[in-house]
Structure 1
Amino acid sequence: MADVRTSRLKRLSLTNFRNYASLELDPGAQLVALVGANGAGKTNVLEAVSYLTAGRGLRRAALGDVARRDGDTSWSVAARVEQDGMDVSLGTGLLPGDAGRRVRIDGVDQRTSDSLLDYVRILWLTPAMDGLFTGPGSDRRRFLDRLTLSLNPAHGRQVSSFEKALRQRNRLLEQGGSAQYLSAIEHQVAELGTSVALSRRETVSLLKTTLEAQASLGLPFPIAALELVGEFEAETADQAASDQEDRYRHLLQDGRGRDRAAGRTLCGPHLTDLCVHHVAKDMPASQSSTGEQKALLIGLILAHANLSSAVSGMTPVLLLDEVAAHLDPGRREALFARLQALGCQTFMTGTDESLFASLPDASRLFAIEDGAARMLSV
């Protein structure tokens, strides 16, 4: 990956963020581990980092809920990011009375958080995702959209616009809108929905290839097979993009009566599901053991980190919350070695320092306690 830029956080500053009145952290390494008791604020640090990219953060929390409880409802996260020797200052936060968070790059206000994607791509794995394969399809679509966003920075806006157009169509159906108005909005829904679907399919296709290549490395993480399923996928399979859009528009028009009765649009990529299969055991991931589901997720994240580097031209930053506690010593050591080989800066959390005993020597370990971070020896 000679042409891939290395993107790393050199310094992280939090103000009035969750349980932190103020926190200064100097990661200074590729692999960074945060250890401390439950409730100490380890995940809060990862959440702060997740706001340094587009989107709603790893908890998808309301912005006002992120502020420190005894503060003035404002909060901020700032970082110094290094890309191959060049530094850039990133900042984001909320001011009292604001509806959305503000974003600055080198002190210059930005219109949207999408601008941050030019400097850092962030992927994460949290305990809340442990039920990804057994939970609702909406969770898997959101997971896939996050993966797609790191490859295609426009994807987030496409999804938002598509969902907005869908809501407008549903409202028109409910209010008895004219056929002319419905046709106009269905044209938008079909165009936007097809764009979203194509981006997701491209991500799945590229990820399949990367997973196959990863299988040759002999990592102790099972390989997943991926497939997009749903009525829309079946109706538009193997069609050119323009034909998919036309087909979707006809499906919307023909389904007006059904959708009006249901109170929602019953066909489209907003209902597509990501099916994951455990290749070695030839069984759905949803039927695998809890431990194997976790290992499948880790394998997916590792493959996508590799893919994200290749497509975006920069190494992503990974946030792995409580990941080591669910792995035996052999898998932990293999995970740390693979992360180092990928070149991605990775922040990990755990309650026990011993979980990170096999970290490479150049890594950094911090104890999180009493709203502060103290560096430990590795």
Structure 2
Amino acid sequence: MTLTRLSLTDFRNHAGADMAAASGIVALHGDNGAGKTNILEAISLLAPGRGLRRAPLADMVRDGAGGGFAIFAEVQSDPALPPVALGTGIEAAQPRRRIVRINGAAAAATALGDWLSLLWLTPAMDRLFVETAGNRRRFLDRLVLALEPRHAQHGNRYEAAMRARGKLLADPAAADAQWLTSLEAQLADHGAAIDAARQRTLAALSAELAEQPDAPFARPLLTLVDGDGAARTEPYAPDALRALFAARRRIDAAAGRATAGPHRDDLSALHAATGRAAARCSTGEQKAMLLSLVLAHGDCVARARGARPVLLLDEVAAHLDPSRRGALYERLAGQGGQAWLTGTEEGLFANMPGPVTRFRIAGGRIAAG
């Protein structure tokens, strides 16, 4: 998959920008605050979800603008077919409502995943293995979404049913047993679909990682665990989930939340070479495992969907030693597809294998080179 054109209007510090890029590496360099990460964030909004910063939509509007923003891109995944036009943004009259268009027609945000697959790695993700289980679940679900675009629909419906069940449990007078049973059936069906997709993704990713060497990037061993930290060896069945939710009504009512189910699962990782838990590894080892994981997942997507995803790597090169940086560039260039990289120094992108599209970013202005 290749973003052949990207246009921004009133997004973050970019009043207007129009970029053309080819497949291969796209290198963005410029000082801190110039707007490099803003470009990656704009691209990330061309997939389902809240983007790589998970910021409120209104916060993305350029200061002094009229209250809305627009992002437009042309995506080429098959040279024999015309590019697909993807657009998203908000209008001043409805700043909380995200607008999505595909080839000019209105569409749901979840439909974006049918046309563009994105993976990203940012400095904020460096502590993924030591942060909350919720952050790791979101990371895992982003990996799933790149392989199975319908995963977002199941996630949205699961969350809606869980919120509705929670409201009923909080008000015993309104807790109609039949309605609770109906909501728990929805939770069970969508929860089982979520879990099955996660299990398939981890199986594919583990198989891909098993083919990778332990160097130059550390290789992680991945496991899905439940809320108590026990390894999940069997998928959730809808009947078992329905029984689980029904049995825990009193517990969940007292806790004010659903205390068990797929929304409580976590992603566990071990350093393959040492067997040490990722949370106990050095910062450099954790970053190397994340990079290894993202690169292997790109291979999974390419194998499953017949087109390599677009990679967004924010300030990754600056934190790698020269040998690993060179190995990363060689791998990105050799595997095909498109990868967008940012860095503060132009020298970080010297001697990159081609093809390379280069941009200099300064004060919201974008220039070739």
- 3-state SS of paired residue (1:72): coil
Runs of at least 5 residues in structure 1 that lack an aligned partner in the other structure: 1-6
The answer to whether the aligner puts 1:122 opposite 2:94 as a matched pair is no
Question: Does residue 311 of the first structure (1) align with residue 307 of the second (2)?
Answer: no
Write the distance in 1 (CA, Å) between the matches of 2:228 and 2:340: 38
Tell me, yes or no, if the aligned pair for 1:232 and 1:268 is still in contact at 8 Å.
Answer: no
CA distance in 1, matches of 2:229, 2:148: 20
1:215-237 superposed Cα distances (whole Å, 9 cap, x missing partner): 3xx64001110001115996974
Count of residues paired in the alignment: 364
Task: Work out the CA distance in 2 between the residues paired with 1:231 and 1:220.
Answer: 33
- Indicate which of 162, 165, 178 corresponds to 1:166: 162
Give the deviation of 1:181 after TM superposition. Answer: 2.5
Normalising by structure 2, we get a TM-score of 0.94
Q: 2:226 aligns with which of 223, 230, 233?
A: 230
How far off is 1:201 after superposition? 0.9
> What are the residue-to-residue correspondences of 1:55-134 with 2, within 5 Å?
55-85=49-79, 86-98=82-94, 99-110=96-107, 112-134=108-130
Distance 1:11 1:233, change over 3 A: same
AA aligned opposite 2:119: L
Q: Distance in 2 between matches of 1:84 and 1:265?
A: 44
The AA in structure 2 aligned to 1:300 is: L
* Helix, strand or coil at the partner of 1:28: coil
Determine if contact 1:186/1:249 at 8 Å carries over to the other structure.
Answer: yes
Which residue of the other structure, out of 339, 343, 346, is the alignment partner of 1:346?
339
Establish whether residue 21 from structure 1 lines up as the match of residue 15 from structure 2. Answer: yes
Structure 2: which amino acid aligns with 1:161? R
For 2:256 and 2:129, locate their aligned partners in 1 and report how far apart those are by CA, in whole Å.
28
Contact 1:53–1:122 (CA<8 Å) still a contact in 2? yes
Three-state SS of the structure 1 residue aligned to 2:242 is helix
Query: Could you say what secondary structure the match of 2:157 adopts?
Result: helix
- Residue identity in the other structure for 2:117: R
Residue 138 of structure 1 is matched in structure 2 by 134
Match of 1:372 among 349, 357, 365: 365
Moved more, 263-272 or 86-95: 86-95
Give, in whole Å, the separation in 2 of the partners of 1:180 and 1:371. 56
| Cα offset, 1:364, TM superposition | 2.0
Query: Which structure 2 segments of 5+ residues have no match?
Result: none
Give the partner amino acid of 2:311: L
Change (3 A) 1:315 1:339: same
The residue identity in structure 1 corresponding to 2:194 is: V
Q: CA deviation at 1:365?
A: 1.9
1:195 equivalent among 190, 193, 204: 193
- AA aligned to 2:98 is R
SS at match of 2:46: coil
Q: Deviations over 1:51-84 (max 9, x none)?
A: 1222211111111111111001111111122223
Alignment of 1:175-214 (within 5 A): 175-176=171-172, 177-214=175-212
Cα root mean square deviation, aligned: 1.7
Match of 2:355 among 353, 362, 367: 362
Partner of 1:148: 144
1:4 aligns with: none
Same amino acid, percent of matched pairs: 44
CA deviation digits over 1:170-201, x for unaligned, max 9? 11111111333222221111111111111111
User: Which residue of the other structure, out of 290, 293, 296, is the alignment partner of 1:297?
Assistant: 290
> TM-score, length-normalised on structure 1?
0.92
Tell me the CA shift for residue 29 of structure 1. Answer: 4.1
* Aligned counterparts of 2:218 and 2:231: Cα–Cα separation in 1: 31
**Residue 31 (1) aligns with residue 28 (2):** no
Does the alignment pair 1:325 with 2:318? yes
